Amino acid sequence: MNKPVDNALLTPTVGYWINNARVEATGTRSGEVTNPATGAVTKRVAFANAKDIDTAVQAAKAAFPAWRATPPLRRARVMQKFLALMQANINELAVLASEEHGKTVPDAVGSVTRGIEVIEFACGIPHLQKGEHSENVGTDVDCHTLRQPLGVCAGITPFNFPAMVPLWMFPVAIATGNTFVLKPSEKVPSCSMRMAELFKEAGLPDGVFNVVHGDKEAVDSLLHHPDVKAISLVGSTPIALFIYEPCA
């Protein structure tokens, strides 16, 4: 008889994307990624601890000064290349979403397309980021408006749209000169990792976009990290309140 095989030993583990490279977790906690169509466990995903989150945030913080100083036109060129790569790989991303979320591939193609439209919007950032000037708003008083990046931003996204919802957040944040740490749902990690690879291929500098995975421990570490300047969330009202209150 053949000896029983531990399936956990055969299941690949999804790590993190930090400084434009896949990295392994420092901790031992992980979760299962399941194909809803078959019920099969297809891979495991590492759960970030505070050390992992700090590594990602520090990478984003280190990358911020140079990325902020990059002219908006040059940032837009990176976004344009990223747009072309996303369009070329839309079917691959749709299959990844289908395998981990369970939606049909045509439905997934539609949702990825909606996300790609945000990248198209971000390509116009040189014009969209212009400030304003109003002369003589009061006696001998002029008004100037400047739009400047904040620093390290973070996004927490749900499982139901593995590509579209993250794309609501990081393309605009990055196009405007911020750096970004994405914490997607641990149930659907692969789309975010693949998009990070495509962003690197488009010429995005190291540390500008990072992806970590995990549960409440990862979220709490992002919420309370002093170097994270803004957080975006798509989720339920209770979770929104849980995130909004400490951030505010």
Copy the structure tokens of residue 38: 């078959």
The b-or-e profile of 165-186 (16+ CB within 10 A means b, else e) is bbbbbbbbbbbbbbbbbbbbbb
CA distance 117 to 89: 14
pLDDT band at 10 (very low <50, low <70, confident <90, very high): low
Average pLDDT of the chain, as a whole number: 93
Tokens 């969209």 appear where?
128
Res. 45: pLDDT tops 80: yes
CA distance 87 to 103: 20
Copy the structure tokens of residue 124: 């116009």
Res. 131: pLDDT tops 60: yes
Q: How many CB atoms lie within 10 A of CB 48?
A: 30
Is this structure's pTM higher than 0.85?
A: yes
pLDDT at res. 76? 96
Summarize the confidence of residues 175-187 as an average pLDDT: 97
pLDDT band at 3 (very low <50, low <70, confident <90, very high): very low
Summarize the confidence of residues 139-154 as an average pLDDT: 94
Res. 113: pLDDT tops 70: yes
User: pLDDT, tens digit, for every residue of 190-243?
Assistant: 999 999 999 999 999 999 999 999 999 999 999 999 999 999 999 999 999 999
Instruction: Report, in angstroms and rounded to the nearest whole number, the Rg of the chain calculated over CA atoms.
Output: 19
Summarize the confidence of residues 118-134 as an average pLDDT: 91
CA distance 192 to 210: 10
Cα within 13 Å of Cα(232), Cβ side:
18
Strand bridging mode 22-23 / 16-17: antiparallel
pLDDT at res. 5? 37
Phi-psi category of 220—alpha, beta or left, where left has phi over 0 and alpha has psi -120 to 50?
alpha
Do 58 and 228 contact (CB within 8 A), yes or no?
A: no
pLDDT band at 168 (very low <50, low <70, confident <90, very high): very high
